[in-house]
Every structure is written in structure tokens, then in C-alpha cells.
Amino acid sequence: MATERKKILLRLDPAVHDALARWAGDELRSTNAQIEFLLRRALADAGRMPGSAGRIRGPGRPRKDETDDGDDGEEN
């Protein structure tokens, strides 16, 4: 069973947000995924990445077997 992801409120300078959003688009990630990617990289570089942290999902849409409920909102 997958654990629920934590939700946080993050306040950013608008210019920082815009730069992150552009970078995320270049990497084919959402802004949220880009922030998580960068935080994970910073944790790993600092030797602080917990061993219990799950793997980050790659860019793009998840495969059908990786979705939580299998409902992608499309009718078959």
C-alpha cells in the first residue's frame, strides 16, 4: 500500500517561482516535481537523504500500473 504524500504550503518570490516553472517545463516536470527533485538532490549532496525515502517518479505521465486508483478520468 502506498503512503500518502505530505502536503505543504510554500511561499516563493514570484521571480523564483517563474524561474522554477520554466526550468520544470524544460525538464518535462511539474513545478511541484521540480521542487521535490531539487530538494532530494540537496539532501543527497548534504548526506541527509533518509534511507526510508521512496524513489522519485520519473518525468511524464505515470504508467497505468503506477497510478493510485487506476482512474485517469477517461472513459474506455
Give residue-wise pLDDT tens across range 31-62: 999 999 999 999 999 998 888 777 776 666 66
pLDDT higher at 59 or 22 = 22
Q: What residues contact 3, with CB distance under 8 A and at least 6 apart?
A: 54
Q: Which of 25, 54, 24, 20 has its CA nearest to residue 40?
A: 54
How far the first Cα of the chain sits from its last, in Å, is 26
Q: Which of 60, 63, 64, 54 has its CA nearest to residue 29?
A: 60
How sure is the predictor about 2, in pLDDT bands with cuts at 50, 70 and 90? low
